[in-house]
Amino acid sequence: MWERKPVLLIVLATVAILIGTIITMVLPFAWVNTEADRIESVTPYTALQQEGRDIYIREGCNNCHTQTVRPLVPEVLRYGDYSKSGEFVYDRPFLWGSKRTGPDLARLGGKYPDAWHYKHMESPRSMVPKTNMPAYGWITKNQLDPQMIQRKMDVLGFPYTTDEIKALGDKNEMDAMVAYLQKLGSDIPWRAAATTEIVGELINPFTGVDHDTMEPWEDLYKENCAACHGDHMEGVIGPKLVGADYYDEILFQIIYTGIADGGMPSFSNLGTDKVWKLVNFIRYYGQGEGH
């Protein structure tokens, strides 16, 4: 019957498509970024952070790094609660992405100290040996243009002060990039949600192992610790470990759970066996017993 009334069929099909479009596209756009959707602790970017974001986009960083924690069990366990639209109310455009050639950066802010980011941007493989990320040390030579940044802030409607703009005079693009990276995820209390609890009594399974057994564990140390604490535990970005006398249980907790306020990430992803190997390696060689 319908094939005999093509005009009516077209009208009904158009109505059906319009209803579907309104429900799946128009209404969601109207619902997000409303006052009810906002998160009180999420603040606008500063002038320096916003310029860092523009440089991040210019250099195509979003082609390799996503900025969203998906509502999947493994991601929620690792990063904390999944991303909410209120986290991105000041993102123009948003940089959620879908391709993770590099790690997700949604919760990067505060995970490492500034010095780690400067060194990583200048020489990625000095911090992450197996990365294929190119070096960006050259952006240190590019000074910022305060007046241009001020115009950008005006267009975006973001607040700023005269002193904030003046402070950009001695900043370069690397400073801006690091400021932006340290902003990511720092406005929400995700660390508390992602804290790994240690259940049960801590018993060192490698107590009394000899030098020959520990020697292969050096690679584990170099891959995970040397970038911040030095190849010989002499301290670089992080404190030196030579002479550091921690109880086994305390050192295990520091490595396994990290230090949120100290810029040291959790290494619970290594598993308890490898963390205990690091504990024994650090205690043995840090006390000079292996030298």
In a domain, 87, yes or no: yes
* Pair (32, 52) in one structural domain: no
- Residue 291 in this model has a pLDDT that exceeds 50: no
In a domain, 96, yes or no: yes
In a domain, 183, yes or no: yes
In a domain, 204, yes or no: no
In a domain, 148, yes or no: yes
Q: What is the DSSP letter of 216?
A: G
* Pair (275, 225) in one structural domain: yes
Contact 15, 140 (CB under 8 A): no
In a domain, 260, yes or no: yes
* Nearest CA among 203, 214, 238 for reference residue 224: 238
Q: Which of 74-78, 203-207, 264-268 has the lowest mean pLDDT?
A: 74-78
In a domain, 201, yes or no: no
* Pair (29, 107) in one structural domain: no
CATH code where residue 247 lies:
1.10.760.10
State residue 264's pLDDT score: 85
What's the burial of 239, exposed, middle or buried (CB within 10 Å: 0-12/13-18/19+)? Answer: middle
* Pair (84, 33) in one structural domain: no
Q: What is the mean pLDDT of residues 244-258?
A: 87
In the structure, what pLDDT confidence band is assigned to residue 218 with cuts at 50, 70 and 90? very high
Give CA–CA dist 231/218, Å, rounded. 9
pTM for the predicted model, two decimal places: 0.80
161-179 pLDDT, tens digit each = 999 999 999 999 999 999 9
* Nearest CA among 170, 146, 188 for reference residue 46: 146
* Nearest CA among 230, 229, 267, 259 for reference residue 110: 259
Domain end (from 161, 194, 227): 194
First to last CA, the chain: 91
* Pair (56, 136) in one structural domain: yes
Q: What is the mean pLDDT of residues 20-32?
A: 78
* Pair (187, 91) in one structural domain: yes
In a domain, 199, yes or no: no
* Pair (85, 30) in one structural domain: no
* Pair (53, 172) in one structural domain: yes
* Pair (127, 14) in one structural domain: no
State residue 27's pLDDT score: 77
State residue 263's pLDDT score: 74
Mean pLDDT over each residue of the chain, to the nearest integer: 87
* Pair (56, 190) in one structural domain: yes
In the structure, what pLDDT confidence band is assigned to residue 33 with cuts at 50, 70 and 90? low
Give CA–CA dist 184/178, Å, rounded. 10
> What are the tokens at 181?
């990276």
Q: Which domain holds residue 99?
A: 47-194
- Residue 121 in this model has a pLDDT that exceeds 50: yes
* Nearest CA among 156, 157, 121 for reference residue 141: 121
* Pair (188, 216) in one structural domain: no
Give CA–CA dist 226/164, Å, rounded. 36
* Pair (27, 107) in one structural domain: no
In the structure, what pLDDT confidence band is assigned to residue 195 with cuts at 50, 70 and 90? low
Give CA–CA dist 287/241, Å, rounded. 9
Residues in the chain: 291
State residue 43's pLDDT score: 93
Residues 6+ apart with CB under 8 A from 131: 102, 124, 125
